[in-house]
Amino acid sequence: MFLDSTEIIHRDVSSQARAPVKNDYIRPCYFTNWAQYRNGRGKYMPEDYIPELCTHILFAFGWMNEDYTVRAFDPADLPNDWAGEGMYRRVNALKRKDPNLKTLLSIGGWSFGTRLFKDMSETPVRRKVFITSAIAFVRQWDFDGIDIDWEYPSGPADVRNYASFISELSEACAAEATSSQKPRLLVTAAVSAGEITIDAGYDVPAIADHLDFILLMNYDFHGAWSAETGFNSPLYPREDMRESEKVWNIDWAANHWNEKGMPKEKIIIGIPTYGRGWTLKDKSNISVGTEGSPAKITPFTQEAGVASFYEFCEMLATGATRYWSSEQQVPYLVQGDQWWSYDDQESIANKMAWIKRNKYGGAFVWTLDFDDFNAKCSNSDGQRYPLISIIAKELGGVTIPCVSSGCLNKTSWNSAKINDDFNFACASYTMSCPTGMHFSPPKGYCVHIADSSCSPSTTVTTFSPTTTKTPGNVFLTIRAPFSAFECGSDGFYADIKNCKRFIRCVNGNPYGFDCPKGLSFHADSLMCDHPDPSKCAGFA
């Protein structure tokens, strides 16, 4: 979930819980009822949703009374004189234009705390009060399911009570479906991705059969509560991390849930459309793990250390520099003394490929309103929901319409059809991947063999390189321009200040790139390879 005011996700099943069939990925999205109160381009309403963007909408949040009954959190969720028909009805009205869409009321959240969940779950009588009230409430307002966002159960008593609660909720929903002759309500849960919290809070085999799926909150691995920079939602660990921190990543958390007994098809991977940031103590040190305090408040998110994707768009459009972690497969940006970890199109495409390769059940988003939902970023190519649209395309085969023709002409790298050890750069030469790496067409750059979709080749095929008069038409992962570097002509250049980086000039503009971990840029071959100390004394 999104610590400090955020959370969850889910999917459709029949009267018996079932796993999605091949390629039948779940793509839930969170709708937050407080985004309506933002100003200007940040204001988000149900009508901003585009049909087929998501398979489920999770309404954040429903609330629990002291007597364990369920209620709306915000009066604007319900019909009244000043809010009209209310947010519940407006969200559920989206199903008229998107008939396959399912909606769930997510109850709880980070700011809700744990006390009422603990108290409610302690006895069968209290559990029944909540369950009866929750089922009646979601039926009244036309939701298709109940999502439990208890953050988090902890300790032997909570483990037992949580398992009993989830089991009884699932059984009650099945019984209600029989008596009402309506489709069974979905039962889902937002769950932790932290090792200690997982092991201390969940009896996974006891809950696995009773949940349609879980929303694995694979974010908030690092944030400004820590005094050093780190990644919000990395795919993998970093070699130089402390051993205790190497579990703070998507790959480890998802595998851990599966190993403890949750079927992969029921594990839905969390994707944030927000990021977390720091104010650097020393702005000349921009490395991961450097010391910092919470980043400054941004214009729309209005929370220190948190910003939306559309705010990162504006930072990049106004001079921020984008960097890429090849190890952890996520970007970060730096603007002055502000250091931000976030997700962008490249990292999300990589995560979707990882989900498909590892056969997980899908991906959910926190949140709809943090994406550039109205394509108003200064450097927008006209694609609404530029992040969530990638999930829709990669997991659902759904193309989200553009508001202009710009996003129909996106640039990309071309893959040589011959051998994954090579790729074309649309220049008068070929570039080869370093030893132990392969070129990934979906990602557009060289990756470690374990993350490549093809088998290692045993032979090298020679071919003539492709040439073009417009080398700017395709490029590697672009970082924001390096204003201090002056391009003489288009092409690749070594960064004389850092052997692990290089610069590419496109149409007279310089862009900075990072070589993969352990490699340096060689000016003679114009590629990243294992470092040669004699040629790069500054390599460290």
At 349, is the secondary structure helix, strand, or coil? helix
Q: How far apart are CA 383 and CA 374, in angstroms?
A: 8
Q: Strands 437-440 and 430-432, how do they pair?
A: unpaired
At 148, is the secondary structure helix, strand, or coil? strand
Residues tagged active-site = 151
R_g of the chain, CA atoms, integer Å: 24
* Measured distance between the N- and C-terminal CA atoms of the chain, rounded to whole angstroms: 37
Q: Residue 143 in contact with residue 98, Cβ under 8 Å?
A: no
Quick one: residue 232, left, alpha or beta (phi over 0 = left, psi -120 to 50 = alpha)? alpha
The 3-class secondary structure across 79-101, one letter per residue, is CECCCECCHHHHHHHHHHCCCCC
Distances (CA, A) of 129 to 60, 68, 117, 124, 527: 21, 6, 12, 9, 65
Q: How far apart are CA 9 and CA 102, in angstroms?
A: 11
Quick one: residue 385, left, alpha or beta (phi over 0 = left, psi -120 to 50 = alpha)? left
Distances (CA, A) of 124 to 185, 386, 465, 468, 475: 21, 46, 71, 72, 61
Cα pseudo-dihedral 93, 381, 513, 254, rounded to 10: 10
Tokens representing 447 are 């990756």
At 334, is the secondary structure helix, strand, or coil? strand
Q: Kindly give the interhelix angle for 345-358 and 250-259, rounded to the nearest 10 degrees.
A: 20
Burial of 109 (0-12, 13-18, 19+ CB in 10 A): buried
Q: Residue 268 in contact with residue 214, Cβ under 8 Å?
A: yes
| Buried/exposed 70-81: b ≥16 CB within 10 Å, e otherwise | bebbeebbeeee
Q: How far apart are CA 479 and CA 509, in angstroms?
A: 11
Query: Looking at beta carbons, which pairs linking 380-384 to residues 24 or more positions away fall under 8 Å?
Result: 380/313, 380/406, 381/406, 381/407, 381/410, 382/406, 382/407, 383/407, 384/50
Q: Whats the size of the chain, residue-wise?
A: 540
